[in-house]
């Protein structure tokens, strides 16, 4: 130190973070959630074995996959022609299949992953040209010492680059995923499905044939049970000798209230997925066209919106589109009203000069 350094005021240099050097932030809640849920989490196979949840998944994911992808200028709201990578991310399969599976990953696990197949050159912005979906169970990652940032990802155990071809496109969900937060409900519904299958195979309570005479050999017991089963498949009336007694154990399906239990869990699944209960037949209502339109709006607002937002905002980042351009799913066709309602709206818009006849014809696909 120099002589005059003693008279200088001590200055504290604020720590800085090189954003480009950190691959991705890590939400510690994911690890905490895993510890808290423990064995109460469910697997995809278990979830898809429950009819109500399978229907909810198909409605949500197939709807997301069927929605057109559009791009707009954020400032002028001008409609722009979407790039091919947005409409068909993987050139080998339709875009609807990619987005449907991305939506399922976000719904079930809270994360979705894509891997870059091709990208443009640096002079063209180095944007993604093609990518494909990667199942979440193929992904692992390495955290830093503080467990706050992901240093790199692995696909099937092999480390992937941070950018360019082979790197990952990460879609972050807005919660910990259905398999975690509703795992107990899914497992309970699966057990009810197993109970229903059991009683479908054996539609009476568990039966025991008790010998009141001498002990029978294993061979005679086997022949007796096979004969009993064969007879019950051809007639409902049975005859027993004095040395054999029929006893029943357990309860029949009516006493177990299997139907009521399955209906209750279907309602719980509709709550967990945010889907209107009528979509999974969890409640009986008289459905008209008008309230069907309201149900579709509720489906968008409370079930699809988190998934759509996660996908839209990730695709609006600079590795897909230029600054000032945003990606959105087109909901107009999905939420369009009846022909009478649309005609009334068009009549008003045309009268005030907001839409011309040609624009109305184009909107209704009447121009050939």
pLDDT in tens, the chain (368 residues): 454 444 444 444 444 433 344 457 776 655 555 555 555 789 999 999 998 999 999 999 999 999 999 999 999 888 899 999 999 999 999 999 999 999 999 999 999 999 999 999 887 778 999 999 999 999 999 988 888 888 899 999 999 998 889 999 999 998 889 999 899 999 988 888 887 776 666 655 567 777 777 777 788 878 877 887 777 667 666 767 767 777 665 555 555 556 777 788 888 999 999 888 888 876 655 555 456 677 788 889 888 999 999 999 999 999 999 999 999 999 887 877 667 777 888 888 889 988 888 888 877 777 65
| Prediction pTM value | 0.74
Q: What is the pLDDT of residue 291?
A: 65
Cβ-count burial of 101 within 10 angstroms (0-12 exposed, 13-18 middle, 19+ buried)?
buried
Beta bridge partners of 69: 329
Per-residue DSSP letter, 145 = T
Q: What is the pLDDT of residue 124?
A: 73
Q: What is the pLDDT of residue 15?
A: 40
87 and 96 Cβ atoms separated by less than 8 Å = no
Closest CA to 60 of 31, 102, 28: 102
Whole-Å CA distances, 109 to 47, 147, 300, 305, 315? 12, 20, 20, 16, 19
Q: What is the pLDDT of residue 266?
A: 87
Q: What is the pLDDT of residue 297?
A: 85
Q: Which two tokens stand for residue 356?
A: 């011309």
Rounded (5°) CA angle 96-362-347: 120
Whole-Å CA distances, 330 to 4, 290, 355? 68, 21, 19
Q: How many other CB atoms are found less than 10 A from the CB of residue 163?
A: 15
Of the chain, the end-to-end C-alpha distance in Å amounts to 84
309 and 67 Cβ atoms separated by less than 8 Å = no
171 and 311 Cβ atoms separated by less than 8 Å = yes
Beta bridge partners of 208: 247
């Amino acid at each position: 130190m120099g002589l005059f350094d003693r008279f200088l005021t001590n200055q504290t240099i604020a720590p800085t973070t090189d954003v480009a050097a950190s691959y991705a932030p890590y939400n510690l809640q994911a690890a905490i959630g895993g510890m808290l849920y423990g064995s109460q989490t469910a697997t995809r196979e278990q979830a898809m074995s429950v009819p109500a949840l399978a229907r909810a998944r198909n409605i949500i994911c197939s709807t997301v996959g069927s929605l057109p992808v559009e791009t707009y200028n954020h400032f002028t709201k001008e409609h722009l022609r979407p790039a091919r990578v947005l409409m068909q991310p993987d050139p080998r399969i339709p875009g609807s299949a990619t987005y449907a599976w991305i939506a399922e990953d976000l719904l079930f696990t809270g994360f979705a992953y894509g891997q870059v197949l091709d990208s443009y050159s640096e002079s063209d912005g180095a944007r993604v040209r093609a990518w494909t979906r990667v199942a979440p169970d193929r992904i692992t990652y390495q955290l830093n010492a503080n467990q706050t940032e992901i240093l790199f990802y692995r696909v099937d155990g092999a480390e992937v680059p941070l950018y360019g071809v082979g790197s990952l496109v990460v879609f972050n969900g807005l919660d910990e995923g259905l398999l975690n937060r509703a795992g107990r409900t899914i497992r309970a519904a699966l057990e009810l499905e197993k109970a229903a299958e059991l009683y479908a195979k054996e539609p009476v309570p568990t039966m025991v044939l008790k010998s009141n005479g001498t002990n029978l050999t294993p061979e005679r017991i086997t022949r007796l049970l096979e004969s009993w089963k064969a007879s019950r498949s051809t007639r409902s009336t049975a005859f027993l000798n004095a040395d054999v007694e029929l006893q029943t154990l357990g309860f029949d399906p009516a006493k177990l209230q299997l139907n009521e239990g399955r209906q209750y869990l279907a309602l719980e699944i509709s709550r967990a997925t945010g889907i209107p209960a009528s979509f999974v037949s969890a409640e009986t209502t008289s459905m008209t066209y008008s309230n069907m339109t309201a149900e579709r709006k509720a489906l968008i607002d409370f079930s699809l919106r988190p998934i759509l937002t996660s996908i839209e905002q990730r695709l609006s980042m600079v590795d897909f589109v230029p600054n000032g351009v945003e990606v959105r799913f087109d909901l107009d066709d999905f939420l369009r009203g009846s022909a009478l309602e649309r005609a009334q709206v068009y009549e008003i818009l045309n009268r005030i000069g907001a839409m011309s006849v040609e624009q109305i014809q184009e909107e209704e696909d009447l121009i050939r």
